Chain A
Amino acid sequence: MKHRHSLPANRNMMLRFARQFVLMAAGILLAANVLAQNGKTSDDGKMREASTPLSHDLSGVWMQYPQGDVPGTPGMNTVNERFRPPLTPWGQARFDASRPLVGPRAIPGEENSSSLKCDPDGPPKVLNHPNPFEIVQIPGRMFMFFEEQHIWRTIWADGRELPKDPDPSYLGYAVGKWEGDSFVVETIGFNDSQWVDAYGNPRSEQTRLTERYRRLNHDTLELQVTIDDPKSYTKAWISPPKLHKLEPGWEIAEWFCVVDEDKAYDQVVRKPAGVAPASKSK
C-alpha cells in the first residue's frame, strides 16, 4: 500500500483512490471486521502506555482507519449508528422521510440524500466519510480541509465564546480549546438541511456537536464525537472514539461535487443503493 500513497503530486490518483476507497475497503473489511471486534481497544491501550504528555500539534493529512464497525460501511462510523439513542417524534419523522444511499434503509431509485444534489456537507457527516482531511493550525484558529466536496471549516481557538444566536449554517460555528491532551471542539448554529450520517439520521438546528481530538502518537489521531440534539434524540448520542492515520505523503486533492459530473458518478458508485454492501446482508 505504501507505494500507492507515495505519489503526492499525482492528484488524480489521490482522487481516484479516495473515490474507490469504499469499494476497496469493503473488500478487506470482512476480514478486518472480525479482528476489530475482538481487539477493538488493544491498539488504543498500547498507545496510551506512554505517560508523557501528548502532542498539541494536530497538523497533517489524516485518514480514517477502516475499522468497519457497521457491516459493509468501512470507516464511516465516526458517528456510530449502533450507539444512537431513541429518536424524538420530530427526529423519527425526519428519519422516516430520509432515503439514504447506503445501509439497510436504502431503496434503489428513492434516494434523497442531499449529496445527490451536491448540497454542501457539514459536520459531523463530513467527518464520517472515508476520505482524508487535513488539519492546519495557526494562532487563534484551526482549519480543517476535507477532500470530500473541497469543504473547509474554521475552528476558532482564540478564546472566544460560542455565539448566542448564530445564523443556521451548513458548517455551524465552531470554537475549540485544549483540555489536557484533548482538543475539544464545540459547534452550534447548524441548519437542519443535513443529516448527521449517511444513514439519514437527522441533524436539527438545536444540535450541539462536541469533537474530542487526541494525538495518541505521532501517526494516530483519535476522534470522539458527541451529538447533543434534543430536538432529534432523547439523549446525547455518544459515539466511541475512532482512529485516524497520519498520511505524510498525501495532499488534499480537488474534489468538488459538480452536479453534471456527479450524475455519472452516482450511477456507478454512490447511488446504486440496492447493491450497496450493507443491504446485501439484510
Chain B
Amino acid sequence: MQKRMRNQLKYSHFEVRFSAVAFARVSACAVLAASTFFAGILSAQGGQPSVTAKPEPGIPAAIATPPHDLSGVWMQYPDGDVPGVPGMNAVDDRTRPPLTPWGKARFDAARPLVGPRAVPGQENNPALRCDPDGPPKLLNLPNPFEIVQIPGRVLMFFELGHIWREIWTDGRPLPKEPDPTYLGYSVGKWDGDTFVVETVGFNDKLWDDSYGNPRSDATHLTERYRRVNHDTLELQIIIDDPKAYTKPWISPPKLHKLEPDWEIAEWFCVPDEDNAYDEVVRKPAGVAPGHK
C-alpha cells in the first residue's frame, strides 16, 4: 500500500508537471474523468500491473473484448518502474543494450531534462524548441493517445504536441528508401491477437526516450499492441537500431487503460508559450524527481 501510495503521489506529481497545459484545456467532463481515474487507481491496484505485464488475473474482463479493435483513448498505467519517472518506460532504459561508438557519442552529447543525467541549464532536448516528437519517444510520455481504425489504416492521435500518425494496413510493404522523417513510415498487420506495427524511415533528430538515448536513421521500430481485455491495451516496443545499439532493445510490455470519456485535447507545443512553461515545469532539470 505504501508503495502504491508513493507511486500514486509520484504519478500525480508527474502528471501535473507534464499535463498541466493539457488538462487545463480539457473539458470539464474529461477533468472529471481524470479525477475519477486517479481515485480509481487505489481501488484498481489490487491487480496492480507490473513490468512483467500479467494483467489477466487482476483486471476483470467485465465487458467482452472486441476482436481486432484497438479503438479508443488510452492512458498509460502509472506503474513507475523507473524511480521518479512513472509512466515513461514504454521504452525501458533498464533493458537497453550496450551502445555502439556512434550511439555513445550521441548519448554523451544529449542533455536530457529528466533523469540522473539532467544538468540544469544545459538541457538540449529537442522538445525545448518544440521540435515535433515521434515514435517511440511519443509512446513514452505520460499523456493519452487515441486509436482510430479505418479501412486500410490505423490512425494514432497523441495529445502531446497534437501529433497524429498513420499506420498503413492495406498490405503495402515498407518503402525501400523512405525519406527520413520525424514519424517514419509505418505499416501494420494482425498477427493473431497482436497488431504488429513496423516503422522505418526515421530521421536522427529525435531521441528514443526522454533520457537522451539516440534514434538513428537505421532504426527499425516494432510495436506490438494486444488488447488484453476490454479496458487494457498492452504495448511492447522493440528498437532495432544497429547504428546506435549493439543489439535490439527489447522493452517489456507496458499496459494502458481505456478511458472511454476522455477526448484528446489541443496541446500544441508553441515556442512562445513554452518559454514560460519550460521555466516552471520542463526545464529545471535539477529538481526533476528522477534526479532526486
Q: CB distance A170 to B24 under 8 Å?
A: no
A138–B150 CB distance below 8 A: yes
What are 22 A-to-B residue pairs whose CB atoms are below 8 Å?
A11-B179, A11-B185, A118-B130, A119-B270, A120-B162, A120-B270, A138-B150, A143-B148, A145-B164, A150-B132, A152-B157, A163-B27, A169-B25, A170-B266, A171-B266, A254-B181, A254-B182, A254-B183, A259-B130, A259-B131, A259-B271, A260-B129
Q: How far is the CA of A143 from the CA of B164 in the complex (A)?
A: 11
- Is A117 part of the binding interface, using a Cβ–Cβ cutoff of 8 Å? yes
> Is the C-beta of A12 less than 8 angstroms from some C-beta in chain B?
yes
Bound: A145/B164 CA distance, A: 9
**With A and B bound together, what is the CA distance between A260 and B150 in angstroms?**
34
CB of A119 within 8 A of CB of B178, answer no
User: Which A residues fall within an 8 A CB radius of B?
Assistant: 9, 11-12, 15, 117-120, 136, 138, 143, 145, 150-152, 154, 163, 167, 169-171, 193, 254, 256, 258-260
> A143 — which chain B residues lie within 8 A by C-beta?
148, 155
Docked complex: B234-292 residues within 8 A CB-CB of A: 264, 266, 268, 270-272
Given known contacts A136-B150, A150-B132, A151-B162, what 11 new A-B pairs fall within 8 Å (CB)?
Answer: A11-B181, A145-B164, A152-B164, A154-B264, A163-B27, A169-B25, A170-B266, A170-B268, A193-B270, A259-B271, A260-B131
Considering only CB atoms, which chain A residue lies closest to B271 in the complex?
A117
Interface centre among B24, B157, B164, B175 (most CB of A within 10 A): B164
Q: Mark B167-202, 1 if CB is under 8 A from A, else 0.
A: 000000001001101110100000000000000000
CB neighbours of B264 from chain A (8 A): 154
Give the shortest distance, in Å, between A97 (CB) and chain B (any CB). Answer: 16
Which B residues contact A (CB, under 8 angstroms)?
24-25, 27, 129-132, 148, 150, 155, 157, 162-164, 175, 178-179, 181-183, 185, 264, 266, 268, 270-272
Task: List the B side residues contacting A260 at CB < 8 Å.
Answer: 129, 131
A138 to B272, CA, bound (A): 35
With a 10 A CB-CB cut-off, give which of B129, B130, B148, B155 has the most chain A CB atoms: B130
Task: Write the nearest CB–CB distance from A33 to chain B, whole angstroms.
Answer: 34
Kindly identify which residue among B131, B178, B182 contacts A11, using a CB–CB cutoff of 8 Å.
B178
- A31, chain B: closest CB distance, angstroms: 33
Determine whether the beta carbon of A138 is less than 8 Å from that of B148. Answer: yes
Could you say which residues of chain A place their CB within 8 Å of the CB of B130? Answer: 118, 259
- The number of A-B residue pairs with CB atoms under 8 Å apart is 56
- Residue ID in chain A nearest B182 by CB atoms: A256
What is the CB-to-nearest-CB distance from A203 to chain B, in angstroms, rounded to a whole number? 15
Q: How far is the CA of A141 from the CA of B270 in the complex (A)?
A: 26
Contact for A118 among B24, B150, B266, B271, CB less than 8 A: B271
Min C-beta distance of B184 to chain A, whole Å? 9
Residue from B129, B155, B270 within 8 A of A136 (CB atoms): B155
For B266, the closest partner residue in chain A by CB is A169
**Are B272 and A119 in contact (CB-based, < 8 A)?**
yes
Chain B, residue nearest A117 (CB): B271
A12 to B178, CA, bound (A): 9
The residue of chain A having its C-beta at the shortest distance from the C-beta of B183 within the complex is: A254
CB contacts (< 8 Å) of A151 on chain B: these are 162
Across the interface, name the chain A residue whose C-beta is closest to B269. Answer: A120
Closest 3 CB pairs of A and B: A12-B179, A256-B132, A120-B268
Q: Which residue of B lies closest to A258 (CB)?
A: B131
Alpha-carbon distance between A167 and B22 when the two chains are bound, in angstroms? 11
Chain A contacts for B157, CB-based, 8 A = 152
| A118 CB contacts on chain B under 8 angstroms | 130, 271
A259 cross-chain contacts in B, Cβ below 8 A: 129-131, 271
Docked CA distance A65–B175 (Å): 30
B150 cross-chain contacts in A, Cβ below 8 A: 136, 138
- Nearest CB of chain B from residue A187's CB, rounded to whole Å: 12
How far, in angstroms, from A70 to B87 measured CA to CA in the complex? 51
Complex Cα distance A118/B270, Å? 8
CB distance from A63 to the nearest CB of B (A): 18
- B155 partner residues in chain A, CB cutoff 8 A: 136, 143
Residues from chain B with Cβ under 8 Å of A145 in the complex: 164
